[in-house]
Chain A
Amino acid sequence: MSDITISERQAGDITILDLSGKVTIGEGSVALRNTIRRLLGEGKNKILLNLANVGYIDSSGIGELVSSFTAVKKEGGTLKLLSLTQKIQDLLAITKLLTVFDVYDEESLALSSFE
């Protein structure tokens, strides 16, 4: 059984992915990669990743966030992050990736930032 659940919602042309569980080496990272690839294949390139319920992420998961970010950007889109847990925020600070990602605490503000 996968350690991650990814639910999909649509807000206009923005796709919100609610992630729950672990984004770690193996299934968690692969599940995220496959979902992003599918969305890009469907022409959905405004993506908001809600990480509020991600209890754990490792370097592979962080790498997958970066890969997702660059893959979406390559397709002319934007990927943003919503509701980082303290642990994820710490890891993004250590890796200096807080300077790369656009991060929001409130969904409404995140959604309006895509305009």
Chain B
Amino acid sequence: MQEIREISLASRIESVEEAAEMADNFAKAQGLGDDFIYAMDLAVRESVANAVKHGNKFDESKDVSLTFADSGEMVEITVRDHGSGFKIDDIPDPTDPENLLKSNGRGILFMNSFMDEIEWSNADDGGLIVKMRKRR
């Protein structure tokens, strides 16, 4: 049976820590190991930070929804904001020599590095939906 947990977060920086705590609690309850928990934690922090900063642009009238689902074979994390969406191909590669000394732009690289699959889609009624999957 699939285990699902969902939370609605305010568009503020403190929500990143809240999301990470929820990821930690969910992962421990599902009996996942330390490396899996670290990967989930990092991906959740980066995706929620992006949703708060770049998606909702700190507009507290817009929430960020975060869902964890464990099918037994795979954990799927969904993060949804209510911003204007974006095209993943427009994001510069932070490992290009010309971008190496930039202070930001590495969050998506971390998400890609620590999760097995990431799916980006723009919601019909606005906002970005990020689905991140990691096999157990």
Contacts and interface: CB of A to CB of B under 8 A. Distances in A.
Interface residues on A, range: 20 to 34
A91 B17 CA distance: 20
Contacts of B113: 94
Nearest to B52: A25
A30 to B, nearest CB: 10
A91 B43 CA distance: 13
B100 A100 contact: yes
Contacts, number: 56
A97 interface: yes
Given A94-B109, A94-B110, A95-B109, A64 B13 contact: no
A59 B101 contact: no
Interface string B36-47: 001000100110
Interface residues of B, number: 21
Given A26-B13, A58-B42, A95-B95, A63 B101 contact: no
Contacts of B102: 63, 66
B110 A91 contact: yes
Contacts of B109: 59, 94-95
Interface SS of A by simple majority: helix
A24 B46 CA distance: 10
A60 B113 CA distance: 16
A96 B113 CA distance: 13
Contacts of B42: 58
Given A58-B42, A58-B46, A95-B95, A64 B103 contact: yes
Which among B95, B103, B106 has the greatest number of chain A C-beta atoms within 10 A? B103
Interface in A62-95: 62-64, 66-67, 69-70, 87, 91, 94-95
B22 interface: no
Contacts of B13: 25-26
A13 to B, nearest CB: 25
B49 interface: yes
Given A58-B42, A87-B38, A94-B109, A26 B16 contact: yes
